[in-house]
Structure 1
């Protein structure tokens, strides 16, 4: 665990912690990313909470189904009673009470986690997404993780920008994109911390919260799910949408 940080909930104590924002970008923050408006990437939010630790990202794949990380469900607590999915890249005013937020959002009525405990993937169904006709990603048809080695991809998510979680700009106010090159790819998964894909950006990587479950787009199709950030190597790991995962998505959603 010392070598990496899974993009996960850091416990309730973190909600009351106020850190001093450094002058320079913190070592684990997004560096060199760009503001994005990829409408098929959505935000999973514990509705009514302002804490960044309660945020994840996801990918709308059609008919209201969102592909995200399993640890967003198991560790962060995405659920069917308090979680919402927000789309349209809104700038949430965190100072307003929840009943005054009128941006596009919907509750979740179904959650399916991958049956393999080592595969960090989950599907959540969001009725409002289908009704709103929100844009969708085209899924990778299958193949192996190894097929994506050396692919140039883009990762999208709603991770934080600053260490200071009390700062308005630290919350995931805007979606970010990050150009990646996949340098490691392996179909073998030995445990839940194994990476199928490891991607690098010349100037840094995603922050450790908020980007979980975000979209990895390679060759124009959704090819993976953001799982973890490795501070020492400034790289990100992803679950690949390879043949077995593609089959599971089809059996669950019909997509």
Structure 2
């Protein structure tokens, strides 16, 4: 059983109207994730995302591609009427709210872009791979603001080492990279968070192999492979 890895949350952001262009069927039965195990980390461009509709809100992870575009998972924008991004790596003190005015879904899988109404200039932005073919045995690193072991809430951005074990499919039927945790694993709230292989981002967190990974640092998850969406990302965001 696979479950999506965004997480139900009480958002601190004020609602902002969005123009949503999802182009895909609604993803039902959404559960949302955080990193189990692993270690704390810092990054200028791995951001916290809060979004929701009139009845619920949720949290995800994203990557700033430039001053106004953030990469995340498509299921994080599914049905949203408001969305905001925060650049502070502290969950308890996330910093200034940057509201979104548009979200756009990739036609190639569980990949999406969020456009911010005002830009945030950074010293560096998320490095995306040109392409990547999943190879069993490759070592990677996953990052996110998702739940800790046993469902505990995080206080900070976390990262973990994973191994690529093969190919799989993401929440929307696109090609995905199947990974297993080495010293930590993705959990609810890590949706949209990056998978780095060789120093570049090759995928974003889509689903987990089980609905509740508990405290299993070796749990498996599926990262939407960015290869098919790479040209679309470039033409949409310029990144």
For Structure 1 versus Structure 2, the TM-score category normalised by the shorter chain is 0.7 to 0.9
| Equivalent in the alignment of 2:77 | 73
> 1:21: which partner in 2?
none
Give the secondary-structure state (helix, strand or coil) at the position aligned to 2:203: strand
CA distance in 2, matches of 1:62, 1:246: 15
Equivalent in 158, 177, 188 of residue 197 of structure 1: 177
- CA deviation string 1:50-104 (max 9, x = no partner): x9x61100011113211100000116x3x4xx321001213426xxxxxxx8x22
For the pair shown, the structure with the greater C-alpha radius of gyration is 1
Residue in structure 1 matching 2:126, options 128, 132, 137: 137
Which residue number in structure 2 is paired with residue 125 of structure 1? 115
> Does the 8 Å CA contact 2:142/2:186 hold for their aligned counterparts?
no
In the superposition, relative to structure 1, how do residues 203 and 29 fare at CA in structure 2: closer, same or farther (>3 Å)?
farther
For the aligned residue pairs, the C-alpha RMSD in angstroms reads: 3.1
Residue in 2 that maps onto 1:84 = 84
- 1:9–1:33: structure 2 CA closer, same or farther, 3 Å change rule? closer
> TM-score, normalization: structure 2?
0.75
Name the SS for the 2:127 alignment partner: coil
Of residues 28, 42, 50, the one that matches 1:45 is 50
Cα distance change on mapping 1:201 and 1:9 into 2, 3 Å: closer
Structure 2 spans left out of the alignment, 5+ residues: 11-32
Aligned-partner SS, 1:250: helix
Decide whether aligned partners of structure 1 residues 179 and 191 sit closer, same or farther in structure 2, where only a CA change above 3 A counts.
Answer: closer
Structure 1 stretches lacking a partner, 5+ long:
13-27, 94-100, 165-169
Q: Secondary structure of 1:251's partner?
A: helix
Counterpart-to-counterpart distance in 2, 1:163 and 1:106 = 31
Partner of 1:245: 229
Q: For residues 149 and 249 of structure 1, do their structure 2 counterparts lie closer, same or farther at Cα, with a shift above 3 Å needed?
A: farther
**Cα shift at 1:132:** 3.4
Q: Give SS of 1:145's match.
A: coil
Distance (Å, rounded) in 2 between the aligned partners of 1:10 and 1:115: 25
